[in-house]
Chain A
Amino acid sequence: MSDAVWVLGTSMTRFGRYPELDAVDLASRACMDALADGGVTIHDMDVMGAGTLFQSQTGMGQRVQKQIGQTGIPVYNVTNACATGATAIRTVYLSIKAGEAQMGLAFGVEQMGKMGLLRGGAKAEEKVFEAAGRYGAVTGVDGILGTETMPGVFAQAGMEYACDYDGVGFEQFARVAYKNHQHSTLNPLAQYRKEFSMEEIMGSPVQSYPNTLLMCCPTGDGAAAVVLISEERLRSMPAEVQKRAVKISASVLTSDPWVESGQVQPDVNTLTRNAAAQAYETAGIGPEDLDLVELHDCFATAELIHYDNLGLCEPGGAGEFIDSGGPFRDGRTPVNVSGGLISKGHPIGATGVANVYEVTTHLRGEAGDRQIEGAKVGLTHVIGLGSACGIHILEKAA
C-alpha cells in the first residue's frame, strides 16, 4: 500500500473584511466546514497544524480547539511569513508520513483589517544619533538606502528579471493584474470581484513603479482549512468519500540558499526553483502536465517571475508567456484562476491553505463557474520573505 497522504476535506471563508468577527471565529468556521466536507469530526483528528503570522504568539490552535473540540491532540502553532499556511499543512503531512497520525487538521488564518502598507517604518526624528542594530544604523534607513516596503521590494524582483530578459516591462506586469482581476469575477470567495481594463490598471496610483495600486494584493481577513488523511485510513472510508479525496503527490518546503545579492534584496527565485525541482521529481511529473497553478502573486511583478521559476514558460520567456495568453484560464497553463492574491486577497496565514482549497476544488470538479474542465493535476506555491517557499502538487483520485 502506498504511503501517500490525501486531502479529505477542505474549506475557506470568503476573504474580505470581518470587523464583527475575530480570527478565532474565522478559523473555527473554516475548520468546522473542512471537517464536515470530509465527513469527519474533530474527534477523528490525531494532530492539528495552526498557522497565523500576526497572532503567532496567542496559541491559535488551542484557542480554536476551545471553539470546536478539545480532544487533547498535539497542536503545532507555526509561523513562516507568507508561507505560514503551507507550513501548517506540512506539519500535519509530516505527522501522517511519520506514522504518528492517521488524520489531521491544518488551518491558516489572519485578521489584518485595513493594515495598509507592510514594512517600511515611519520616519522618526532622532534627538541624538546613536548607532543601533546589526548595521549600526543611527536613523531609519527606509527611503534613504533604498526601500523596505513590500511593493518596492517585489518591484525590484520583477525589474531584475526585466534587466536580464527582453520583452518584459510595465505592460507585461500590468497584464498579470488584468488577468487576475478578470479571473476573480468568477470566484464567489474572492475579496474583490471586479474586472479592470489595462488602462485602469496602468493608470491607477503608482505605489512602487512598476507596481500600481491595482497590481498589489490587498490586506484582509480570512481563514482556510484542510483535513489530511493517510492512504491506509482513506481506504477504510466510504466509496463516495474516497472518490472526492485528492492525492498530495508532493509537499515541499525550502529556504533561500546563499546568493551574492541576498543580503540586500530577498531572493525569491532560487528557493522556488529548488522547491519546484524537488516537487516535480517527487510527483513524477513536469510543468507541462499541470492543469492549473495557484502561485504567490502578492504583486504583479512577483507572478511574472514565477512563471519562469516554476518552469511554466521557456527560460527568460515570462513576458512572451503572459503576452500570448498562456496563464489565462483558457490558456496553456491557467494561473491563479481564483483571482490570486491580487484580487482573491491575501490574509497572510490563510493564503497557503486557501490555494490548496482552490486546486482541490477544481480537481474534484466542484469549482462551479470558474471550473477548469477536466483538471487532473495542479500545483500550489507560496513564498514567505526571509525566505520560505512551500509547494504542493495535487492529483485527482484515479
Chain B
Amino acid sequence: MTQEATEAVEIPTQLPIVDYLRIGDDPHLAANECAGCQARYFDRRNACARCGKEEFRSVRVADDATLRSFSVVYRAAPGIPVPYVSAIVLTDDGTSVRANVVGLGDPMKAELGMRLRFTTFTCGTDDNGTDCVAFGYAAA
C-alpha cells in the first residue's frame, strides 16, 4: 500500500460547518483582523475594505454577545426546519456575527438586547460518519 493511500483512509470524526469556526476542546470563532485598523473579516481579503492595509492576523472572537437584531423565520427553502431565530449578534469585543439563537423553545421569546453566549452543536452526519459542527448563540 502506498503512503498516499494510507493517508486517504483517515476520516475526521468532526468538521466545522465553516472554516472560521474552530472546534476541539475550546470551540470559538476566529477572524482575520486588519493590522492597521482592527477591522475583522471572516473570509480572506486582499486589502482591508476599510483602510486598505494588506496585513492581517488571526484573532479569537469573544464568546459573549448581545442580540442586535433578529427575525423569526417561518418560510424557508425545502428541507430547512422552521421556525428558527436568525440573528445578528454583537460580541463583547465588537464583532458582528450572523447565526441562529438556539435553545429558546418558543422562538418568540427572542428579545432585542438580550445577552447571549456562543455555543456549538452537531447539525448533520455524512456517509463517512463525519459530524458537521455548527455554532449558534444561547441565552446567557
Contact = CB atoms under 8 A, between A and B. Distances in A.
A160 B75 contact: no
A147 B132 contact: no
A264 B126 contact: no
A144 B123 contact: yes
25 contacts: A123-B78, A124-B79, A126-B126, A138-B17, A138-B132, A139-B17, A139-B123, A143-B76, A145-B99, A147-B71, A147-B76, A147-B84, A149-B76, A156-B70, A160-B88, A163-B68, A205-B74, A208-B71, A208-B86, A209-B73, A211-B71, A260-B40, A261-B96, A263-B43, A264-B88
B87 A129 contact: no
Given A139-B124, A207-B75, A265-B96, A152 B43 contact: no
Given A146-B86, A152-B71, A162-B69, 15 more contacts: A122-B79, A126-B124, A135-B19, A136-B20, A137-B17, A138-B16, A145-B99, A145-B135, A151-B75, A156-B87, A159-B69, A205-B74, A258-B49, A261-B88, A265-B69
Interface of A: 117, 120-129, 131, 134-139, 141-147, 149, 151-152, 155-157, 159-160, 162-163, 205-211, 258, 260-261, 263-265
B2 interface: no
Contacts of A139: 17, 123-124, 132
Contact of B73 (A128, A149, A263): A149
B140 interface: no
A315 B108 CA distance: 28
Nearest to B121: A144
A210 to B, nearest CB: 8
Interface string B1-39: 000000000000001111110000000000000000001
B132 A142 contact: no
Nearest to B124: A139
A129 B88 CA distance: 26
A275 to B, nearest CB: 19
Nearest to A153: B71
A210 B73 CA distance: 9
A209 B85 CA distance: 9
Interface in B85-137: 86-88, 90, 94-100, 108, 112-113, 123-124, 126-128, 130, 132, 134-136
Contacts, number: 170
Contacts of A125: 124
Q: Which among B39, B69, B79, B135 has the greatest number of chain A C-beta atoms within 10 A? A: B69
Contacts of A209: 71-74, 108
B128 A128 contact: yes
B17 A144 contact: yes
Contacts of B77: 117, 120-123, 142-143, 149
A131 B80 contact: no
Contacts of A160: 68-69, 88
Nearest to A211: B71
B57 interface: no
Q: Which residue, B18, B86, B112, B123, has most C-beta atoms of chain A within 10 A?
A: B86
Main secondary structure of the interface of A (DSSP, over half): loop
A122 B81 CA distance: 11
B130 to A, nearest CB: 5
Nearest to A210: B71
Given A135-B42, A263-B96, A206 B128 contact: no
A146 B87 contact: yes
Given A128-B127, A163-B68, A149 B98 contact: no
Contact of A141 (B17, B71, B82, B113): B17
B17 A145 contact: yes
Contacts of B88: 146, 156, 160, 261, 264-265
Contacts of B43: 134-135, 263
Contact of A123 (B74, B80, B128): B80
B43 to A, nearest CB: 4
Contacts of A155: 71
Nearest to A162: B112
A258 B112 contact: no
Contacts of A261: 68, 88, 90, 96
Contacts of B41: 263
A301 to B, nearest CB: 9
A136 B19 contact: yes
Nearest to B12: A129
Q: Which 4 A-B pairs have the closest CB atoms?
A: A136-B19, A123-B79, A155-B71, A261-B96
A126 B41 CA distance: 27
A308 to B, nearest CB: 15
Nearest to B81: A143
A157 B81 CA distance: 23
B76 to A, nearest CB: 5
A209 B74 CA distance: 8
